Amino acid sequence: MGGFVNRQPTYKLSERPGEVRTIDKIKAKLKNLRSPEKQADSDTWKPPKLEYAVLPDGERLGGWTTAEVDELDDLVRHQLHSRRAKFKRSMKGFGQYVRRPLGLFITVYATLITLFGAAWVLFLIGWISLGSQKDYIVNIVDNVLVALFAIIGDGLAPFRAVDTYHMAYIAHYHRKTWKRREKLGLPELWDHNDLPEQRKEDIAPPPQVDIESLCARRMPKSFARRIAPRIPKKYADIMIARNQTEVEPNYEYTVLSPEEQSVLEYHERKFSKSHTFYKPHETETHYAFPLKLLFAVVLLLDLHSCLQITLGACTWGISYKTRPFALTTVILCFSITCNIMGGVLISMGDKRTRKHEVIERMMKQELTSEAIETINTRRLKEAEERGEIDPEIRKRREEEKEREENEEIKKSWKSVPSLPKKLLGKGEDHRQPSLPVEARSSSSSTHVDSPKRAGSSSSKDKKSSRQGGTALQPVQEVPTVAQPTYPQPVARRGEGVVPPKKGVGQKVLAGFRKADLDRS
């Protein structure tokens, strides 16, 4: 029959239902099952598209239309870019600041120093004629100025001496930690100003990947618990090897003894209660404050108090008729310079350690909450005009808000008698809490793709990077025992990377943006 009859027929044999391999069953099940992650993503709430506004935590804008969401975004944009809105916001903040005891004291204190200082200068240069009483009146104004300066310089001298005592312990244990880590051959800390608190034995081991957890990613846990033991060992090993990630060992642990660590934490807690600018560990908005700047600030403040005491002794101990004019002038100039330099160094440390993106996001969240409150108030007014809501509801909300502000101000005034305790590091703790060890940036510094924070490197680090960045070799304490080798410290941000060039317009906009963040 030629081509009409196939003398070598072929057949397509199918396996019986009982002979289907286990791995094929698993593949079919995984293909048919819906991923729990995708299901959770589809069921969760989708945030609206906002260009300038950032919704506060927990805010979902329930029942808002698209037009109202666009209006909210436009209000936040106006608050960010309008000079008039910035001025009104700053004046509102200044009004709230003056209503509190510390703000009122600083405002009155600065006003008195400005007025008496201006009068002193005008009397000396002769713009205001005093006749034969010039020396006597200038001496009175000079005594008033010295008394005003003594409120801060002489009044805070005992507390600054206690702060110097705490700072000495902080600096001692910082240097002791650095030297001990270098002696043990440990790599550099992610931030050498942020000493770790956890001990070596408290570090959690790297997570182990098992076949049951891998199956639970794609199916319910109860089903994965029954399927995992049936997977052949060959395929299970392949799946585990494919999903296994290499985790470098974590060397962010303290090398101090428990007694030394407790002493260090005690002095850090006392000093940070007395000075709010000092942060021993990473917080939500800042990294740890640099130790070198802390040392310089404390010494400058101590020198300022010593010079103020000397100025008061010379002014009140020597008669103005025989006292050299240059003596008090030179002491006053050096004293004011020390105080100003201390403030400048604190500002430098704050700008160096602040998290700009986090602070910007928090500022936008605050502006967004104010814009939401404005739109809700307008909604209530419109509902009142239509007769849908009783006008007493809006008035009651405004009264409650005002009552909360007044209660907060009263609470701040009640805390005035406890000010000496606060300066000594006692009393209620109002510090910004440090982040947990797991949430800090140092917890992920063992990965290669985790860059170090710019500005946290020491001169020793920069010198080693210029010499080629060789790995740190451990010290052989016992020659017969081989010591383990440790990884090379992670490369710092900005080293060896050429930043892209910015245009003139981008530089100007960046300057305005930075100035706005600093002012806020």
pLDDT of residue 338: 95
pLDDT of residue 299: 96
Rounded alpha-carbon distances, angstroms, from residue 17 to 27, 32, 212, 223, 230: 15, 18, 26, 21, 17
Total residue count of the chain as it appears in this document: 520
Q: What is the pLDDT of residues 111-161, one digit of tens each?
A: 999 999 999 888 888 888 777 888 888 889 999 999 999 999 999 999 999
- Run of H or E residues at 9: none
Q: Among 36, 31, 25, 42, which Cα is nearest to 217's?
A: 36
Distance CA 78, CA 85 (A): 8
pLDDT of residue 461: 46
Q: What is the pLDDT of residues 233-289, one digit of tens each?
A: 777 777 777 776 666 777 888 899 999 999 999 999 999 888 889 999 988 889 999
Q: Among 280, 289, 275, 298, which Cα is nearest to 422's?
A: 275
CA 446 to chain centre: 21
pLDDT of residue 363: 92
Show the low-confidence residues of the chain (pLDDT under 70).
1-45, 205-209, 244-247, 421-431, 438, 443-520
Q: What values do phi and psi take at 370, rounded to 5?
A: -65, -40
**Amino acid making up residue 89:** R
DSSP notation for 221-279: HHHHHHHGGGS-HHHHHHHHHHH----PPP-----S-HHHHHHHHHHHHHHHHH-TT--
Distance CA 400, CA 75 (A): 25
Q: Does the predicted model carry a pTM greater than 0.75?
A: no
In the chain the first and final C-alpha atoms are separated, in Å, by 96
Distance CA 301, CA 292 (A): 14
- Run of H or E residues at 504: helix 504-519
